Chain A
Amino acid sequence: MTLLLSIIIFGVYSAALLAIGAVGFTLQFGVTNVLNLAFGSILTACIFAEYGLTGHSTNLWIAMAVGAASGAVLSLLIGHVVVGAFLRRGATGFGIAMVTIAISLMVQFGLEAIQGPDILSYSAGSQATMNIGGVVLSSGQLTTIIVAVLAMAAVQVLLRMTKFGLAMRATAADVSLARTCAVSPARTRAVTWLISGALCGICGVLLGIGEGSFSASTGSDFFITLAAAAVLGGIGKPAGAMIGALIIGIVSQAAAAVIAPSYKTIAAWVILIAVLVLRPQGILAEFAADRELVA
């Protein structure tokens, strides 16, 4: 019984952590139509930036704000400036995948060169814990769940109730039609990269706190699980990413508890491959195969 409860509670925590990143990833993909394989490296860079700027901060909210800011800046630089330049030069889907991979390698190994051979320990906020029916949850984990709920609500409000959200959805649906309706796709994309980067940074800081330590490869491993959530839910759909995160979170916790801890990520990755092969459009969403890449 405690096993089941712990699978559910830690599953929800994993899902919350995944959802913050996955929504950022999927939102950016939906609007810009660029599959950003450097997302994981940006996530790692945010933890490094936060660690370097405020160190073991006692205030979790400041840590998250710093993570969000560094993520937004990096994401804009990498996504809007570098990838955007390649897109304007006429790079295709495969070329863009190559570009984001190259950036990802540069960021990840650049950080590894800075980090040195040690794994850095990391903490922020209070160390208090909470007991739910025999399952101990740290305050960092609890905060993650709260932040995830807030972020998900904010994204939904942004998309459904604001004018900018409308512009984002218009850009995602049809660029030329959006342009005729006085929406600037370039500006919308730039802001989307910022939002996606900010969510990525928050996710990174919370991941660092949850793990208690980080290294240069933290983000690239986590990214694949996060991508699994986004793809499962139907890539480009924030609501789908939330459902995907919940499924991946609970399944991977169950795999870790039932098979072996090392299968936690493998289970999520197998789901990702299965979805990509069998139902690339995911649970929700229409398939974006025919959409063209535009700068």
Chain B
Amino acid sequence: MTSGLVYYLSGLAILLGINLIAIWGLDLQFGLAGINNFAYIVFQAAGGYAAALFALKPAKAYGGFETYLGGFNLPFPLPLIGAAAVGGLLAVPVGLIAIRRLRADYQAMAMLVLSLIATGLAEAQTGLVNGPTGLALIPQPLVGIVHVTPLGYNWIFLGLTAGCCALAWWVAHGISRSPFGRLLRAVRDSESAVAALGRNPDALRMKVLIAGGALAGPSGGLLVEYVTAWGPSSWLYPETFLFFTALIVGGKGNLAGGALGALLVPIGIVEASRHLPAFGYPGMIDSLDWVVIGACLLVFLWFRPNGLLPERKRVFRAGRQQAGGTQVSGAFAQRLTGSR
């Protein structure tokens, strides 16, 4: 393999890892708890901005060619931790809209509009994150401490991404298999049953919204630190549907499905089209990517709405004792509410 190819593949692996974290975060919110978060990209964007602002020096240090709030010049890994915190905190105001009891399609529209408003504000308030131009020159982690070739740095960054992925998997898998995860599935499948068992579905949804946001944040942070620039055009509302398509193609509600989706949609479709022989004007293939993504979404919603790796059906068995109806539901209730 030529070193150019190795460099390209390592970059691809980094992007896969970043998408994986984001898709697992969305899987927690949408796949596990059934929250139709059509503003998910805002969480990633906020994480990206947070990491950038925590890592950048104050604007004056660069001659003031860009304007933004803060610039705290914090060392690695604080910007990423900050990104996670901001992503999680953002879930609280977003949750006020996302957790309202609205018709699912109204909710979808409200979340979509929220995403557009966020883009609009980031562009209109130029002092906040440098307006439509966005932030640039974002410091990469460990640069200045380690001295390596660009390829060597890619390997370091890949290791960092892999570490973050492992952490994200640990969080998402932990939630998914815990009693809390079972409760979330119950909220998704039968909200009134959960409420009848004395649990507050809204509080549960808020918790998972925060957890998902805390994964989206660092994924945005990693992306920003990898590409060293971040602006409103990087997180327009269609990007949310890249993640949704990945989940629906791969299979929602399970981490393997999300991983397969990450490999097929953001990396598969978007990267494969870069290797097509060039045709049209520059940028035409990028537009056609979205047509393919939309078509994929439609085809899967029609033929295989549960994805390539559907969520395993979890059937509760009443142990060995073959208990009667009331006892089963009693035991079921115990399992459901997580009391031991």
Contacts and interface: CB of A to CB of B under 8 A. Distances in A.
Interface of A: 34-35, 37, 82, 86, 89, 91-99, 101-106, 108-110, 112-113, 116-117, 216, 221, 224, 227-228, 231, 260, 262-263, 265-266, 269-270, 272-273, 276-277, 280, 288-289
30 contacts: A34-B105, A35-B108, A82-B298, A92-B104, A93-B105, A99-B298, A102-B294, A102-B295, A103-B294, A105-B241, A105-B294, A109-B290, A109-B291, A109-B294, A116-B284, A221-B116, A224-B112, A224-B116, A227-B113, A228-B113, A231-B109, A262-B123, A263-B124, A266-B117, A269-B117, A269-B120, A272-B110, A273-B97, A273-B117, A289-B102
Interface string B266-287: 0000000000000011111001
A231 B120 CA distance: 20
B338 to A, nearest CB: 27
Contacts of B121: 266
A89 B294 contact: no
A15 to B, nearest CB: 19
B73 to A, nearest CB: 30
B83 to A, nearest CB: 25
Q: Is the interface of A mostly helix, strand, loop or mixed?
A: helix
Contacts of A288: 103
A97 B124 contact: no
Contact of A276 (B102, B116, B287, B301): B102
Contacts of B301: 86, 91, 95, 98-99, 102
Contact of A272 (B96, B113, B291): B113
A228 to B, nearest CB: 8
Contacts of B117: 266, 269-270, 273
B9 interface: no
Given A106-B290, A112-B287, A273-B114, A97 B105 contact: yes
Contact of B297 (A98, A110, A112): A98
Contacts of B305: 95
A113 B280 contact: yes
Contact of A93 (B103, B112, B298): B103
B65 interface: no
Contacts of A276: 97, 100, 102, 106, 109-110, 113
Contacts of A277: 96-97, 100, 110
Nearest to A275: B110
A104 B237 CA distance: 12
A288 to B, nearest CB: 7
Given A99-B301, A105-B241, 14 more contacts: A34-B105, A35-B108, A82-B298, A89-B302, A93-B104, A106-B294, A109-B238, A109-B287, A113-B287, A113-B288, A266-B117, A272-B110, A273-B97, A273-B113
A164 to B, nearest CB: 26
A106 B302 contact: no
Contacts of B291: 105-106, 109-110, 113
Nearest to B36: A94
A280 B288 contact: no
A94 B106 contact: no
Contacts of A103: 294, 298
Interface string B295-338: 10110011001000000000000000000000000000000000
A106 B282 CA distance: 19
B114 to A, nearest CB: 6
A228 B110 CA distance: 10
B235 interface: no
Nearest to A82: B298
